[in-house]
Amino acid sequence: MSQKQWIAGINAVAAALEHDAEHVREVLIEAGAKNPRLAEIESQARRMDIDVRKVATQAIDGVVGGLRHQGVVARYAAAKTWGEDELETLIEAAEGRALLLVLDGVQDPHNLGACLRSAAAAGVTAVVIPKDKSVQVNATVRKTSAGAADSVPVVPVTNLARTMRDLQKLGVWLYGLAGEADASVYSLDLRGNVGLVLGGESDGLRRLTRENCDQLVKIPMPGGGAVESLNVSVATGVTLFEAVRQRGAAVK
């Protein structure tokens, strides 16, 4: 089995069973493990008629390679995916309070997983990523996201610039994070339909992505440095939770 067909770790497997059980084909649990959460996962999987096998730790190591698995992994037949055509429905369902995260070319699966974790905690409507030149949701992303990859819609798109224009037509204001911008993210009104656009680890926002933002803003840093000096997942957390602060507890 390829590593991409497995998710590892207690939180990731529990989230898969809760949010996407129809695609879970098998759960492997470390034989003799005493963690009560593993017993809960076993019971939940059996209630759903999902095959559960007790195996040696070495067997689990063999299917997930170097991933830390905490004694449990699950095999996926397919990951839950969201199509570009579903974005409009997601935005309409948010009733004027859509909060989107647009990630332009994040390459590191650990960074994407951490971004998804922040997105889920912030109640983000959807996360948009390009299908090209970006890591996709794989086993490492699922593990790092602690289950968030299964609870927040991730929408891979063929042409990010075109999708951004489509979002604007749907009434979404797009704000790109760039260290050289004059305006501060804290000066924005983030209470309506908003998309926060962040670039990848090395080059930040690409030219077309910048050009399709309604405004470029920065995270003020009294200590100096550009936004690229912040890890993209840290910058994601800062900007998303500024939106959460402005919206109060009503973000969904």
Domain assignments of the chain as residue spans, ordered by start: 3-76, 84-250
pLDDT for the residue numbered 149: 79
Residue 219 is assigned to a ligand binding site: yes
Residue 230 is assigned to a ligand binding site: yes
pLDDT for the residue numbered 229: 67
pLDDT for the residue numbered 4: 47
* C-alpha span between 195 and 178 (Å, rounded): 14
- Joined together, the tokens standing for residue 57 give 């730790």
User: Is 84-250 CATH 3.20.20.70?
Assistant: no
| Burial class of 169 by CB neighbour count within 10 A (0 to 12, 13 to 18, 19+) | exposed
**How many C-beta atoms lie closer than 10 Å to residue 20's C-beta?**
18
239 sits in which H/E element: helix 232-247
Bridge partners, residue 102, by sequence: 128, 197
pLDDT for the residue numbered 235: 94
Closest CA to 237 of 94, 101, 98: 101
* Chain centre distance of CA 67: 18
**For 150, which DSSP code?**
G
Which stretches of the chain score pLDDT less than 70?
A: 1-4, 78-80, 224-229, 249-252
pLDDT for the residue numbered 200: 87
pLDDT for the residue numbered 190: 96
Rg of the Cα atoms in the chain: 19
CATH architecture, domain 3-76: 2-Layer Sandwich (3.30)
